[in-house]
Amino acid sequence: MNRKAVLITGCSSGIGLALAVRLAKDEKKRFMVYATMRNLAKRETLEKAAGRTLGSTLEIKQLDVCDENSIKACVDSLPMRRVDILIMPLCRNAELGMIGPIECQTICEMKSVMDTNFFGLVQLLKEILPDMKKRKSGHIVVISSVMGIQGILFNDIYAASKFAVEGFCESLAVQALRFNLNISLIEPGPVITEFERKVYEEGLKIDLSKADKVTADMFTNIYLKNYNQIFQSLGQTPEDVAEHTFKMITMANPPFRHQANHPYTTMTNLKYVDPNGDLPIETFYKMVFEHDKVFKASLSFLKLLRWRSHNSFSLDKDKNAS
């Protein structure tokens, strides 16, 4: 049985690591996983998690999506340069702490987020897409975000990078059909990782002196104050996202979009209910600024929905397995 060659970006931690391990440990051994990371010095965690699959169904390779030479070298190192499934969990640079008022962020920091989340994706696709077209076979999976379809308070630049990714993939998907290629966007909500903890810690250090008093107060006493509760209520694990992604790549006809955080879907649906776009903005404004108690009660309710959704998903997996 020929294994499908799977190239995954960002595997030193988080979603990328969980995906690499999940596919490498597939009981049917359907995949040969090439788990990549920018800094190979951070490979130890993946090596431990991979266990016996290392060197068998999983290999670790260096890849910096912001470096064209690194991309080419990585793809050239693959047998026949073949990539059957490309999975790209791209995320913002945690060191930059890209949350907060835009007055307090530099253009250089903003460009770094766009370079990784958008242009990094495009550069990697430019190297791999032509071969997929020639074979008329391949599946491109992008780990996007619900923030690719709905902006969130004080996540302006991150949301912009994800909107760019969604627009790019939506345009490319039409062309891909002509070559029998699949493109899928996996849209998680908040994902609980070490990365998110670092982003929060960086947010606490932001110099708010360039922001007006109202904006600074909004960021400190509303956004940061509720940050942890939002993740506790809506957050999912990298393993959960990996399971959703696994389901997508093993489907005969995978969908273009898949929202992996079902409780959050009720909020993103507001965008499609009102063509004018006012409803989601006004709803979020009232929840945050006018109905604080309702907002917090909603988070508790969503936490319950999240728990029920997770258990339902687990039951579905068990049924499919049997």
Q: Which segments are annotated as binding site?
A: 10-38, 64, 145, 162
Q: Cα separation of 187 and 244, whole Å?
A: 10
User: Residue 109 burial by CB count (10 A; 0-12/13-18/19+): exposed, middle or buried?
Assistant: middle
Which residue positions form the known binding site for substrate? 145
Contact (CB, 8 A) for 116 and 124? no
Q: Cα separation of 186 and 15, whole Å?
A: 12
User: Residue 283 burial by CB count (10 A; 0-12/13-18/19+): exposed, middle or buried?
Assistant: middle
Residue 158 annotated among the catalytic residues of the structure: yes
The backbone torsions φ and ψ at residue 187, rounded to the nearest 5 degrees and listed phi first, read: -115, 90
Q: Which of 158, 223, 227, 264 is catalytic?
A: 158
State the DSSP H helix or E strand holding residue 227, giving kind and residue range, or none if neither: helix 224-234
The backbone torsions φ and ψ at residue 10, rounded to the nearest 5 degrees and listed phi first, read: 60, 50
Which residue positions form the known binding site for NADP(+)? 10-38, 64, 162
Residues taking part in catalysis: 158
